[in-house]
Amino acid sequence: MSRRHALDAGLALAGAALVLIALAIIWAARLSDPANAVYVSELGATGAPTAREFEAALILIVAGGSAIAWAARDVRSRVRMLAAWSPSVSLWIACGFFLVASQVTCTAGCPLPYGPSFDWQDLTHITVAVLAFAAACWAMLQTSFARERRVIAWFSLVMGASVATIAAAGGLLSLAQVATDVGSRFELIATTLAIGWVATFGSAVAVGRLRGQRAEMTSSSRLASPTRM
């Protein structure tokens, strides 16, 4: 069991590192042209100079998130409605959608879901991106009511509400074509918070696994030592 704890801790830490690298890539790509306030998806649009970086960032998120999901597979919500499946499953679902989004990017300019310039490629990308964020927020909500880890539970509740609210606000501004520069910043903030939560969750899982390993080693040492009369 100690070996399993060590492996899970390593996977969780590696996953946290990968998603943080992805976040750094996204920010670097976004800041490469500070005068152009684009939405995150536009970084990977067909023909965009940052398309390769966008694809690499999403693949890193998929790999890191999947590793963390495996390490956190025993985390369960204490609320029946949220316990139908684990946060890990929700995180894996989000990773699956992000993987599709990394390969099916929007077209140049990332048109809105109406008008003559909008096509099936844009519809696919927007749909999977929204579903990925929704699955990630659901994972945060499930973790908010986890049986253990109270600190990460409260953190997950705050982050889940923040990501959902900010991302929705950015999306509505985009649809209304009002203050799109503000909307793009909202989306970047929501993306940053979501990835930050995944990294923090992974780190918390790693700490919990290492504590469990230490407790097992201590218990084994006590059982192995001779009993004093």
How do residues 130-180 score in pLDDT, each as one tens digit?
999 999 999 999 999 987 667 788 899 999 999 999 999 988 888 777 777
- Per the prediction, the chain carries an average pLDDT of 86
Helix (H) or strand (E) holding 207: helix 180-224
Which pair of structure tokens corresponds to residue 129?
A: 């991106």
Mean local confidence (pLDDT), 61-81: 93
* Band (102; pLDDT cuts 50, 70, 90): very high
The identity of residue 167, as a single letter, is A
Q: From its phi and psi, is residue 177 left (phi > 0), alpha (psi between -120 and 50) or beta?
A: left
Per-residue pLDDT tens over the stretch 20-54? 999 999 999 999 877 677 889 999 998 999 999 99
pLDDT reading at 59 higher than 50: yes
For residue 216, what are the contacts with CB-CB under 8 A and spacing of at least 6? 1, 2, 5
**Distance from the Cα of residue 93 to its chain's centroid:** 11
Cβ-proximal residues to 181 (8 Å cutoff; 6+ apart), any chain: 37
pLDDT of residue 193: 96
